[in-house]
Structure 1
Amino acid sequence: MVDRTASDPIVGRVLDGRYEVGDRIARGGMATVYEAVDLRLDRPVAVKVMHAGLGDDQDFATRFVREARSAARLSHPNVVNVFDQGDDHGTLFLAMEYVEGRTLRDLLRDEAPLAPARALALLEPVLSALAAAHAAGLVHRDIKPENVLIADDGRIKVADFGLARAISSDTQHTATSGVLIGTVSYLAPELVVDSVADARADVYAAGILLYEMLAGRKPHEGESPIQVAYKHVHEDIPAPSAVVPSIPDYVDALVARATARDCDHRPADARVLLHHVHRVRSALDAGMRTDPELVADLQPPPSVEHTREHTREDLAEVLAVPPSVQAEPPRSPAARPAARTPSRPEAMQPTPPPPGRTRRRGPLVVLLVLLLAVAGGGAAYWFGVARYTTTPSLINLSETAAREKVQAAGLSLTVADRAYSETVTAGSVISTDPRAGSRILDDGTVEVTLSLGPERYEVPALRGESEERARELLEEANLDVGDVTERFHERIAEGVVIRADPAAGTELRRDAAVSLVVSKGRKPIEVRDFTGRSADRAETALTDAGLDVERTAEFSDDVPEGRVISQNPNTGTLYRGDTVRLVVSRGPEMVQVPRVRGVGVAEATERLEAAGFVVRTERSDLYVGLEYVVSSNPGQGSMAPRGSTVTLTLV
């Protein structure tokens, strides 16, 4: 939850003239994190500000600056990105990616314990981030639920690589000024005892994280940090199934492997642990309630106590906790006093055997009984135990390595089968018969199943095939038909595949779905009637619809110039590239008015009608009955529409 602290002097500041600081998000031992806005790029960021006064300590300041450089080296989708680092008048800060959502701690508080499948699904991206860090030579050293961010869109990111350091000889010590870096509930034993860390310390913390998700609580608890640290050093992490009995045995074994107190018994880094997680998830997906072979392969050897008993003072020195506030570490129960054996009274003493022949025969009988017992015991040992040995664990070994290991055990190896596997590389052992840890006769044979690698099938070429044939080809390729989408296509006939997704040649798992896009044939175009409308607009609309347009022009006394006189076709359905013919009006035909001035009305009328005009006459004010034309309207020589009226004025 965001802590809106009005009195915080950092809230409201603009750091380095760029980052406007908003509400406080979280506060840690070394720095406080705020919401902020990058004013230059106008984007939300998270700003981590070192506590006041720590910037004056050169060691702390150096480590804080190194945080930016170390984290900036990581580019991974599950790592919170570091954008910038700066010093604003003595205030050291980092600008980081802002992840809107909640932490794994919030999720555990609301939903724990989690089902094994979900817990492993949450752990996988954390291990992916750590694997990238370990490959870059960095150790996080503070893996805990508070540093696992779950975005609202489901993305998981690991935050606060501020404690990560390069894995080198001069940066192995985890204590700075006597203060151990990290959270005590997730500290590996070697960190507590020897103050050194490598990638296996992150593996241990990830194992504790997994336990907490599965069990809904931390594995070791105490009244003080020293008690918790003492338990991490001297006690194995309990099986989560002790809290949730439904958890499979191989999940218990995974937790035990990751949290082995001897770091040499843990996976070497997060990449190796991630491989084990994939194997366990495969067993879960297969619905296996138990898997002795996987358990035997994952279960670490029993932990051996350290040669020196670490006292609370030892741990206090590493953790920098005053001894006065430490609780006494748990003690072993006191030895019970031996019980006294009462002396037997004489009445209970055995009666001596009678003298004579019976006494001499007694030792012979006893000797014979002993010989028979020894012979029977030897036979039983030979036939029941001595002739047998234990089948070695061969899972994930190559055939050559498995054969060498079997032969070293005095056994022989036979390849009984080969099968596909999503988790075991091609040529390596998937399973054995007998299983690992089972009894097998000396000189016996171990039958192994070798991996063919992941089962993959190529998407066949489907373009140009009918939908029915495409379905047959996918079935032959051990693939399924996914979504089928129909689309118009101008060149591919109806019912024929346009394309497939994924494309031809892509390798997919068995029964994976391939989506098809199938042609609906040419797209029909409904023809609109543009008669009487603007010819230019009609042509634009028809062309945009994919049709060709042919235009011819004619004079028209009825249709204005530039408008459509007729259209063919003017209704129905066409297809792209079909032709629509438009007859466009040129307006009425213009004709020159003939010369009629000074001509008799009869001749003038004849000339005008021959030119296509309608004649109308009127008398002038000086009319005397001569019937000669003195003027015309429109005037002679001007242009007028054919069929229009010419008025003659007579004298």
Structure 2
Amino acid sequence: MNTRILGGRYQLQEVIGGGGMAIVYRAVDTLLDRVVAIKMLRSQFVEDEEFVARFRQEAQNAARLSHPNIVNVYDVGVVDKEYYIVMEYVDGQTLKDVIVERAPLPVDEAIQLSAQICAALSHAHEQHIIHRDVKPHNILVNKFGVVKVTDFGIARAVTGNTITDRQATSVLGSVHYFSPEQARGAQTDAKSDIYSLGVVMYEMLTGSLPFSGPSPVSVALKHLREQFVEPRELNKAIPQSVENIILRCMVKAPEGRYDNMAAVKADLEDALKHPNVPKFQPTFDYDDKTIAVPVVGEGFSDVSPELRAARPKRSWRKVAMYIGIVVAAAAALGVGGYAAIVLVTNLVKVQNLNLPSVVGKPAGTAMKSLEAAGFHANQIQEDYEPNTSKPKGIVYDQSPTGNTQVKQTRQITLYISKGAPQVSMPDVTGQPYDQAKQSLVTAGFSAKNITEKVEQSSTVPSGQVISSDPAEGQQVSTDGKIVLTVSQQENTTVPNLLGLSYADAVQALKNANLQVGQVTHNQVTNIPDGQVYYIYPYVEGQTVPAGSSVNLYVADNPQSSSDNSSGSDNATGGNSSSGDNGTGNTTSTSGSAQPHQVSITVQANKGSSTQVKVVIDDANGQNQVVVDQSVHKTTTWQETLYLDPGQQGDVKVYENGKLMNDYPVKG
């Protein structure tokens, strides 16, 4: 394909997938130089407000989720009526591809993959998001075996085996994997996803689907009515404990399934520890008298390839006979005329009504408006979801779109705001501001509500977060305002300490908001007793963080120490304390040695530090390290060598471990 730049940033490379509603491209984010996946709404739907709203809802739902087993959403946008979602690119296969290539999968692998799917869906359910279309096609497995669940929030599709009828009751979900309540067009919840997960596990471990048929309608009816072949009859390697999990997930009555995904995951993790258990027997199942017949018709656009090949040609006589049987059964079961009319909605003319727009109205007012327009209360479903744009109790969306003509029997869904969702404030202290802000956005907060407050600190590095308001762990509305207090580290200047007495130097450091570091006393000639003659690792006038430590080298006058010269380290010019920070200059072992001053200047590399080491050889010994520090700007040192007359001394200067200068000095 011809590459193009989308939104001035994303370079499209190739098509890597797609469905009835969208096409997925692999692309490169030219700003961050990373590979991404871009899901773009098909052009034929850009004028359809309902599809656009669903597409946006998917992006909003996915952006609220942050979990290692869920595909991340990075960005959303629209350019020239091209709606797109920018997502994490997963280098791997769909679980459907894995099943086609290798099913039945080994039991331990199937359990490991299923546990990851459970973890992803459990997180979504905690955020009040129901997937409604759990199937292997929407589950990616990267080359390391990590599961990534995708396609959250798609409530409609028009391809594959996804049932939808925009003129009658909507049934959402892919027909081979959806739950009985989805087949009936009833309200779905977390237990619908649990049923679909059971189907996915069934297919992984047997290589077959529990229900198949010549048309999507026939498969949907089997979900409602028929029992599937139990997994262990198809694969004897499946332990009873694992089959029990599938059987419990796929109980037709939601009440008989697991309470939540966490419970499924717990049983999966325990299944191989206790494989031989009694067979699961459901205590709930549908009562035939309460089953409502789903909407059916010839309006299903596509059938899977394997079913298309097997579909027999049907005569209109057989079609009429099939419809007659179902209608008669519906009447016999007490479903009544309403269900029969819905059942044959494509054959019997149903009155069209004008559906008013109720977006922005309180829920109660919206219900009254719809009833006044001729719709029944039992046709109207209320879906309460967190929403950051509308106050609690206000309708923020509706399906079908308002101010349109729809069938009188059409199910209507009102999406009602529960207000902005509440999430736990994460701990972002110690993070750089930009990283902390991204962490909060990932957690669901709005970037525009995150502000920075600068505060000087001598303990937290510049640019890092000192604290947040609200504090870590507090429950915060995702549209709430957050203030991050960020460190602007206080700096100070190293004062002139050379020539000061030790006491005065300590006071000068205190006045400059600096600390006294290691103190080393050396015998040094020609320097008054108790004076500071060298400091480390900084130099006078250097700007350093407040609170830094400065090492002091203090002279011990030889005259005042002559009585203690015998047998002491100081008599030989050694240090009374040692360390890697250098020794300073020492007095000569010979009384005839004279001091010689050497000035050393090092120019640091621009934009980086230079590690400087200065080593001297004189009458006091060889390889004496007098400077060992990192400098960021041009720095000068004055060093003293003590040499006897005619003696050869030397000063070597190393920069980043390499000898750069060698100063010979003659006494």
TM-score normalised to the size of structure 1?
Answer: 0.47
Please tell me whether Structure 1 or Structure 2 has the larger radius of gyration of its CA atoms.
1
TM-score normalised to the size of structure 2?
Answer: 0.46
